[in-house]
Amino acid sequence: MTEAPKAFQPRPRSVHDLLFAPGSRGVLIATSKDPDAKRTFVVTPPAGTYVDGPAGPVAIKIPVTVAAAAAITRETRMLIAIGKLDLGEFGRTVPRYLETLDSDGLPAVVTTVLRGVPMSVAYHRWLHTSRPRAVAEDFALAGGWLRHLQLATAGARTRITWAHEVAGDVRTRWSGHPKFEAAQVRLAAADRQLRGYRAAATVVHGDYWFGNLLVDDGRISGVVDWESGTRSGWPLRDLVRFALSYCLYLDRHTRPGREVRGHRGLRRIGFGAGIRYGLLEAGWLPDLVRLYLRTGLETLGLPTILWYGAALAGLGEIAATANDDDFAAQHLELLAGLPYWPLTDGTKPR
């Protein structure tokens, strides 16, 4: 008995077919040295290349490693899933999938280009994070975009088991680490706070930090890098990730041991001093952090008192999932050294 012939599957076009097509013009806009390193080009292909796509430039993300190829595959699936949702004009802030290309046997993804400048550009300008008004605008922009996404994609409400899931992931990666048990105790405390409530599952970006947010004319014009996203997940993930990442780099431009300009009591000492400051201390920035988290919780129909438990779970998630081992371990150690509950804002856990 002969085997039935398989249906013909055309080989994807090569990256070179687009990058070096007659009339194409492009520029490399991003590259990295991470384990899942990628190179991102913005290319203006010949007219008519994409009948249903943009007439202007497109973005091509090319993997450098096998791990990067897996990340690109995840992002491709995520963008296709989001593209099927009815998000109206809001959908224009998410890249639209156009094509998968072959890059020496690995997949490269082509998407629409979103207008705007990464929020990280303004963040790292001199004195930006020392000005209350500028920082408040950043939090308002990030929180506003996230609120639209979560309200537009909310599904059924289920009991919040996020912290418990994170604890399992941390156990898988860090069992045996000297700070593992202390971190697990904090995650257990977060789980006790969160699991008594229900939240609607939403689309989750998964890496919602200021480097992935594009700003144009005073609004969020785009959010990129969806490789860690999910079609239906815990919305607290994105809410907390932005706050933690914003605090983490507050001391980036300060010499070790010195006080960070504009933030009385914050010194560049060790890893995560900005996160401890934002979660535990008094000051205008910690006030903004807590306001942002509480406002996000209210949007999700949750008690504002849950902000700290959610922050602990968010730190654990970074420790469990960050692709750089040192970065992940530093978050584990930071989590292990935090109190079970903040002592400065007068709130008490249930």
* Residue 76, domain CATH: 3.30.200.20
Is residue 342, in this structure, part of any structural domain at all?
no
Is residue 166, in this structure, part of any structural domain at all?
yes
The average pLDDT across 152-164 equals: 97
Tens digits of residue pLDDT in 180-216 = 999 999 999 999 999 999 999 999 999 999 999 999 9
Cα dihedral: 282, 285, 288, 294 (round 10):
-50
Q: Which of 84, 112, 140 is the last residue of a domain?
A: 112
Contact 228, 207 (CB under 8 A): yes
Which residue did the predictor score with more confidence, 49 or 3?
49
The average pLDDT across 310-325 equals: 97
Is residue 346, in this structure, part of any structural domain at all?
no
pLDDT of residue 350: 38
- Rounded to two decimals, the pTM is 0.91
Query: Is 193 in the same domain as 242?
Result: yes
Query: Is 255 in the same domain as 290?
Result: yes
The average pLDDT across 31-46 equals: 80
Is residue 293, in this structure, part of any structural domain at all?
yes
The average pLDDT across 234-263 equals: 97
DSSP string, 146-213: HHHHHHHH---EEE--HHHHHHHHHHHHHTT-TTHHHHHHHHHHHHHHHTTSEEE-EEE-S--SGGGE
pLDDT of residue 349: 41
State the residue range of the domain holding 329: 117-336
Query: Is 200 in the same domain as 313?
Result: yes
pLDDT above 60 for 292: yes
Query: Is 90 in the same domain as 208?
Result: no
Tens digits of residue pLDDT in 58-102 = 999 999 989 999 999 999 999 999 999 999 999 999 999 999 999
- Burial (CB count <10 Å: 0-12, 13-18, 19+), residue 118: middle
Q: How many structural domains are present in the chain?
A: 2
Query: Is 23 in the same domain as 71?
Result: yes
pLDDT of residue 314: 98
Structure tokens at 170: 């941390």
pLDDT of residue 22: 78
Chain mean pLDDT for the chain: 91
The average pLDDT across 29-38 equals: 73
Report the C-alpha gap between 330 and 282 in whole angstroms.
Answer: 24
Residue 53 Ramachandran class (φ > 0 left, ψ -120 to 50 alpha, else beta): beta
Closest by CA to 218, choosing from 121, 120, 117, 146, is 117
The average pLDDT across 25-34 equals: 72
The average pLDDT across 103-112 equals: 94
Q: Nearest 5°: CA angle at 267, between 287 and 314?
A: 55
Report the C-alpha gap between 220 and 29 in whole angstroms.
Answer: 20
Residue 222 banded pLDDT, cuts 50, 70, 90:
very high
The average pLDDT across 218-243 equals: 97
Please report, rounded to a whole number, the percentage of residues in the chain having pLDDT higher than 90.
79
Is residue 3, in this structure, part of any structural domain at all?
no
Q: Which of 51, 77, 112 is the last residue of a domain?
A: 112
Query: Is 200 in the same domain as 284?
Result: yes
pLDDT of residue 38: 86
Query: Is 232 in the same domain as 134?
Result: yes
pLDDT above 50 for 9: no
Residue 33 banded pLDDT, cuts 50, 70, 90:
low
Report the C-alpha gap between 248 and 341 in whole angstroms.
Answer: 19
Structure tokens at 132: 């209350």
Query: Is 121 in the same domain as 186?
Result: yes
Structure tokens at 339: 């109190």
* Residue 222, domain CATH: 3.90.1200.10
Beta partners for residue 214, in sequence order: 118, 222
The average pLDDT across 127-147 equals: 98
Query: Is 156 in the same domain as 184?
Result: yes
The average pLDDT across 218-234 equals: 96
pLDDT of residue 8: 40
pLDDT above 80 for 110: yes
Is residue 194, in this structure, part of any structural domain at all?
yes
